[in-house]
Amino acid sequence: MHPETTRITLPPPQMIRPRRPRVPRWAWIVLILLSLLLGAGGGWYLGWKQGGSTPDGGAVVAHAPAGADGAAAKKVAEARIAVASGDWLAARRLFEEARDLDPDNPDALASLPLINRRLAEARGVITVSTVPEGALVKVGSLKARTSPATFTGVPLGEHEVVVTLDGFDPVTRQVLIDSEEPQTLADIALTRSSGQIEVVSEPQGADFKLIRTRERKAAELVQVGTTPARIECLDPGEYQVLMAVEGWPEQSQFVRVENNRNTSVSAVFAKGGLKITSDPSGAEVWIQAGESAIRKVGTTPLSLADLPAGKHRLELRYADWAPISRSVEVSGGSTQDLEFSWERALVSFTSDPPGAEVYLGDKPLGRGGQKTPFRLELPEGDYRFSARHSQLDPVSEAAYIDADTGSNTVHFPFAYGSVTLASEPSGAAVVSGGMPMGRTPLTLPVVPPGNYTFELSKEQHRGTSVSGSLEAGGSLDFTATLTYDSTPVVSRDFKNGLGQQLVWIDALGGWAGAYEVTQAEYERLAGINPSYFKSPRHPVETVTWYDAVKFCEALTVQERSLGTLPAGYRYRLPTDAEWSQLVGGQKLDGAISSLFERQKSTAPVGSLAPNEFGLYDIRGNVWEWVSDWYSQTILNRVRQEGSTATDEWVGTDRKVLRGGAWNRSSEFDLAVANRMAARPSAEDRYDVGFRVVLMRE
C-alpha cells in the first residue's frame, strides 16, 4: 500500500505450472534399461562406422576393456541388476562408482540423471509404534505425530526418528527408506525416567504432603506421610512440599525433580518465647508467623511460650492509635523481652460551627460518636484528620501531634453562612429546594455557601419567594410581606365574611353551609328577624322562600365586595337533588325532632353531631327550603325513593321543603324521601328555615 494513498499495488500475475504427472515405477525401469541398451548399441555402431573392415576384409571384433574400464563395466552390470529389482539407491551408488572409475562411461552418464529424477519423485511409507503408546514421534523434518504413527510421503534416504514422552527417556533411531514399499519400526520400548526427593525435618515426625505442580499451582497430590521419607520414581518436573507440626505454621517449599537426580527438602520446627510489655498497658497483641493469617493472642503485659522458631510479625493495637509493627526473630530454646511504647499527647478537636464528627481514615475518633469540641489522647506522629458536619462539605486538616507539647489543637473551619427569614404576618411556611425549613420568624444558623431561593406561603395569603447568594462567613436577611387573599381555596373549608362555616362537598363541586342560617346571621344581613322563637344561635324560621332567595343574593353581593367570593361562584338555595346528596347517612337519632321526645321549640344549631360531611341539623330542627317547585319530577322521585307522594300538589305554586322539623313526631314526616311543600310566600311557618350553598353560576 502506498503511504500517500489507499491504493493497493498487487504483484504481477504469475503462470501456474501444471504439476508433472507421476511416472509409474515400471515405466522408470523400462526407460533406464532402454537408455542402457541404446548406450551399448551406440558404442557398437560407432566402432563399425570407424573401423569398417580389416585390410584383409575381416570384421572388427570388440574386446572388453582391461583395467579401470573393466571395473566400470562390472559396476554397470551390477547397477543394471539393481535397476531391474527397483533398488534405486543401490543403482545410483553403483553408477556413480562406475562414473568415478570411467568418467566417460556412457551407461553411467545416460542413467544417472534418470535415476536422480526417479529418486526425487519417489516416496516411502513408515509406521512407528511404541511401548507405551502416545509418544510423540518425529521423522526427519516431517510433522510430528503421536504413536502409533504412520508417515507417508517420506523421501528415500536415511532419516532420524526421535521418540519422546513425558516421564520417559527419549529414543533416537536411524532408518533407511530405500524403496516405496511400506516399512515398520515396531514396538520401540521407552524407558521411564525418574528422580527422587528426600524429605527430612527437625524434629522428626512432621506431617508432609508432596504435590505435583505446574507454574506453582497444585495439579496432583503425589504422597502424604511423615518425616523422614524418601519418595522415588518421580517424574521430572516441579513439586511442592508442605510440612507441618501442630502448634507451628505450615512450611512450604518448591523443588524441581530432574532425571536420575536426588533432591532433598528440610524444615526445622523449634520453640522459643516472647515477653511483651507496652506503655500504656492493655494493648492488643497480634502475631503472624510465616504466611499464616495474623491472629490476636492477648493483651499486654503478655508472655508467649512455645512459639515456632523463625520470623514473626508483631502488631500492637491500642484504641484509635496507629498500630506499632515489628518483625521479631524467635530463637529456639530462648525467651526475648520486648517493650513497646507510644509517645503520646492530649489533642483538642474543635470546629466552626461545632458539632462535627472527626475521622482518622474511615474510623471515627472519640467515644460513642463524640462531636466537636472534645479532647483525646493520641500517639506522636503525622496525621490527616477529616471532619464531617451534617449540613456542610467535609473538611480535612493535616497535623503533627507533638508529645513534647503540653497540648495540641486541631481546628476545622467549615465554609458556611447564616440565613434569617421574617414575614408580615409571621407564621409563613418556608420551603427551599422542595424541602420544608420551618415557619417565620426563622433563623438558619448553618447554611453552606451557594445560591438559594426560599418560598414563603401562608393560608389565605398570596405566596412569595426571596433569593440570594450566600458567601462563606456571610449572612442573608430576608423580610417578606404577604398579601392577604380572602378568596376561598377550592376543596378547602372556610368561613365567609358573615362568619358562616362553609364545608366543601366533593360530589357537588361546591360548598354547603355547615349550619342552617341562624337568626343572628339573617338579621345582620337583612336587618330584621322574623323568627317566632327568637334566639341568635337558633335557626331563622317563619321566613318565606322569597326571603331566603333574597338573603342568598345579598350574601353573594356582600362577599364579592369583600373579595371572599371565588370567581364564578354564587350563594343560593340547594336543589332537591343536591339536598338528597347533602343529607348523606344522617340518622334520626341525630336530629332535633319530637319523634322520641316532644320538643317545645327549635334548638341552637349544631346541638347534635354532624353527618359524615360535617353538616349539622341536615335532618330536623327546621324544614329547609330548596329551589325546586313540587312538580311531576319531584313526585316521581318520591315514589322511586319509597315514600308517599301528594299528587294534588303537582302543578300548584308550591316549593319543596326537606328534612323534617322540631315539631314532627311521625317517622313518615321525618323520612329522608318525604317532601313537604309550601307556597313560597308562606310567612307563618315557625318550623321552616333554610341552608345556603355556594355553587358555580
- What gap in Å lies between CA 383 and CA 410, rounded to an integer? 10
Which of 231-235, 553-557, 632-636 has the weakest average pLDDT? 231-235
Domains of the chain: 27-32+67-121 (no CATH), 123-189 (2.60.40.10), 195-268 (2.60.40.10), 271-341 (2.60.40.10), 344-413 (2.60.40.1120), 417-484 (2.60.40.1120), 494-696 (3.90.1580.10)
Which of 18-32, 349-363, 499-513, 639-653 has the weakest average pLDDT? 18-32
- Cell triple for 541: 324560621
Tens of pLDDT, residue by residue over 213-240, are 998 899 899 899 999 999 988 888 899 9
- Cell triple for 273: 518465647
Confidence bin at 11 (pLDDT 50/70/90)? very low
The amino acid present at 603, given as its one-letter code, is A
- In 3-state terms, what secondary structure has residue 232? strand
Tens of pLDDT, residue by residue over 45-102, are 333 333 333 333 333 233 334 456 788 888 888 888 888 877 778 888 898 888 988 8
- Cell triple for 430: 418556608
Residue 111 in this model has a pLDDT that exceeds 90? no
Q: How big is the CA angle at 555 (ends 691 and 506), to the nearest 5 degrees? A: 55
Q: Count CB atoms within 10 A of the CB of residue 661.
A: 28
The alpha carbon dihedral of 622, 628, 631, 635 has a sign of: negative
DSSP state letters, 44-96: HHHHHHHH-B-TTSPBP---PPPTHHHHHHHHHHHHHHHHHHT-HHHHHHHHH
> Nearest Cα to 130, choosing from 174, 163, 172, 169?
163
Tell me the mean pLDDT in the region 324-339.
83
pLDDT confidence of residue 59? 33
Are 279 and 340 a contacting pair, CB within 8 Å?
Answer: yes
Question: Helices H, strands E: what count in the chain?
Answer: 9, 46
| Neighbour order of strands in the sheet with 271-279 | 302-308, 271-279, 335-341
Tell me the mean pLDDT in the region 287-291.
79
Are 691 and 574 a contacting pair, CB within 8 Å?
Answer: yes
Tens of pLDDT, residue by residue over 561-597, are 888 888 899 999 999 999 999 999 999 988 999 999 9
Better-predicted residue by pLDDT, 520 or 216: 520
Residue 396 in this model has a pLDDT that exceeds 80? yes
